Amino acid sequence: MPDDRSASTPGRRDPFAPLLENPLAALLRAHARAGAATHAVPTAGAPQAVTRYDDGRHRINLGSNNYLGLADDPRVIAAATAAVRRYGTSTSGSRVLNGTTRMHLELEEQLADHYGTEAAVLTSSGINANIALLSTVGSPGDVLLVDAHAHASVHAGAAASRGTVVRFRHNDLTSLRQRLDGLEPRAGAVVVVDGVYSMTGETAPLAEMALLCDRFGARLVVDEAHGLGVLGARGRGAVEQAGVLDRVDAVTVAFSKSLASIGGAVMTSRAAADGIRASAVPYVFSAANDPAAVGAALAALHVLRTEPDRMTRLRENGALLRTALARAGTPPMAGTGAVIAVGTGEAEATAAAWRLAFDAGVYCNAVAYPAVPRGKGVLRLSVMATHTGAQLQQAAGIIAAAVQHVQAEAPDAAAALV
């Protein structure tokens, strides 16, 4: 298809220019041509602790969100297979038309029970859970106060609200308090944060934020995509770990992490859930979650709720990898849970360290701007309950050697970490 249609009309701007001239896209193309691409690396098998990649090599996989190691669990696979055999491969319609099955209702009931809320609403992805909720809250004159580092879907959902979006500095209680204090007296307020920040593993100071919300009469929404199955006594995330689950107005989750599936959900009051079902575009106008995904999520949630030892192993593995990295001379950023970030600095240094680790047998995620601030790139590592201690010790040595080699080659990159 032509890329220069607008050029045939002199003086008319090309509305596709932001796509065609995107500098990040150009950089990724250059990396691909040079054989140094760090993104969209194809695998040839399930995201196991050691995964087979498309080049035929097996690598220690520290780049998957398969936190509980259930993506290839025989029980989860059997549940997905049984769902397909009963309901077919697609719901072929939205939930409000023909797309609701008994499984959808059961999963909503189980999730609401797990979180102790009145209701849960399934969405086709974790991203759509945030968009479905946040796009339907707020009226003109109301304000959504969003952590600057919250997931992109949080910002997208908030931007779709009829309220005004105001950012506050990441995990900065003073910044949040000042913004709450500056609101018009009648303005409704919603504070929106990630329980666990996906690129760094930091947790939000939820106990203090809940106190601020109580003081200013604000609602509190927490994205627990990376907390579900990882933090809290029952795996309900940072909200449970901080002891504020009963003071949060809505929790969103993604199934693509601990629940080894695809989809998302909003846990909230029954009235709020009904409002989402009545008006949220991602619910009303999107095809319902496919049967295999719902069956898999149901089975994985059952494992999460009945096998707490799996969460214990996950947390022990996270602590082990953090300790091993520090002992190897590359201490990670502060954080808890399954996500561990090792600072690399500029984007070029991040890509170079990633390539060294990849070639040495470890897959992780190379994260640069805009996912993190400019010059604050990281290698994002995520552990699974199914990693062995030996695998994590080996991976820590490889990651540390890669980062240290790049920093020795480019001292300016190391300076950027400060």
**How many other C-beta atoms can be found within 10 angstroms of the C-beta atom of residue 75?**
13
What mean pLDDT comes out for the span 179-194? Answer: 96
Please state the length of the chain. 418
Strand ranges of the sheet holding 189-194, from the earlier edge strand across to the other edge: 119-123, 264-268, 250-254, 219-223, 189-194, 143-147, 164-168
Q: Long-range CB contacts (< 8 A, 24+ apart) of 3-6?
A: none
| Structural domains of the chain, ranges and CATH numbers in brackets | 31-61+308-415 (3.90.1150.10), 74-306 (3.40.640.10)
Tell me, yes or no, if the pTM score tops 0.85.
Answer: yes
Q: How confident is the model at residue 24 (pLDDT cuts 50, 70, 90)?
A: confident
pLDDT at 265 over 60: yes
Instruction: Give CA separation, 384 vs 188, 238, 307, 343, 355, in Å.
Output: 40, 18, 15, 21, 22
> So what's the pLDDT on residue 7?
56
Q: Is the dihedral of CA 244, 250, 254, 255 positive or negative?
A: positive
DSSP 5: G
> Which range, of 255-269, 315-329, 332-346, averages the lowest pLDDT?
332-346
Which pLDDT tens digit goes with each residue over 216-235? Answer: 999 999 999 999 999 999 99
CA atoms of 197 and 193, how far apart (whole Å): 9
Handedness of CA 19, 24, 26, 30 (dihedral sign): negative
pLDDT at 228: 98
Between 200 and 116, whose confidence is greater?
116
In tens, the pLDDT along 335-393 reads 888 999 999 999 889 999 999 999 999 999 999 888 788 888 999 999 999 999 999 99
416 has pLDDT over 70: no
Mean pLDDT score across all residues of the chain: 93
Q: Using a CB cutoff of 8 Å and minimum separation of 24, what contacts does 181-186 make?
A: 181/216, 183/143, 183/216, 184/141, 186/141
DSSP code of residue 182: T
What is the predicted pLDDT for the residue at 3?
Answer: 59
Q: Provide the pLDDT for residue 413.
A: 46
Short-list 119, 88, 117, CA closest to 101: 88
Residue 34 pLDDT class (50, 70, 90 cuts) = low
Share of the chain above pLDDT 90, in %: 83
At 6 the pLDDT is 56
- The pairing of beta strand 339-345 with beta strand 189-194: unpaired
Q: What is the mean pLDDT of residues 68-76?
A: 97
- State the average pLDDT over residues 193-216: 96
Question: Average pLDDT in the 137-151 region?
Answer: 97
**What is the structure's pLDDT at 33?**
73
Distances from the Cα of 150 to the Cαs of 11, 25, 90, 93, in angstroms?
A: 39, 23, 32, 31
Proportion of the chain above pLDDT 70, given as a percent? 95
Mean pLDDT of 77-94: 97
* Residue 59, beta-bridge partner list: 51
**Residue 38 confidence (pLDDT) above 90:** no
pLDDT at 129: 98
- Please determine, for residue 415, whether its predicted confidence score (pLDDT) is greater than 60: no
For every residue of 220-286, DSSP letters joined together read EEEE-TTTBTTSSTTSB-HHHHTT-GGG-SEEEEETTSTTSSS-EEEEE-HHHHHHHHHH-HHHHSS
- Residue 32: pLDDT band (50, 70, 90) is confident
pLDDT at residue 260 above 70? yes
Is residue 87 scored above 70 in pLDDT? yes
Residue 270 CA to residue 254 CA, distance in Å, equals 20
- What pLDDT, on a 0 to 100 scale, did the predictor assign at position 417? 39
58: DSSP letter: E
Question: How far, CA to CA in Å, does 326 sit from each of 78, 187, 329, 331, 386?
Answer: 40, 47, 5, 4, 22
Higher pLDDT, 281 or 411: 281
C-beta atoms surrounding 364 within 10 Å: 28
Q: What are residue 388's phi and psi, to 5 degrees? A: -95, 160
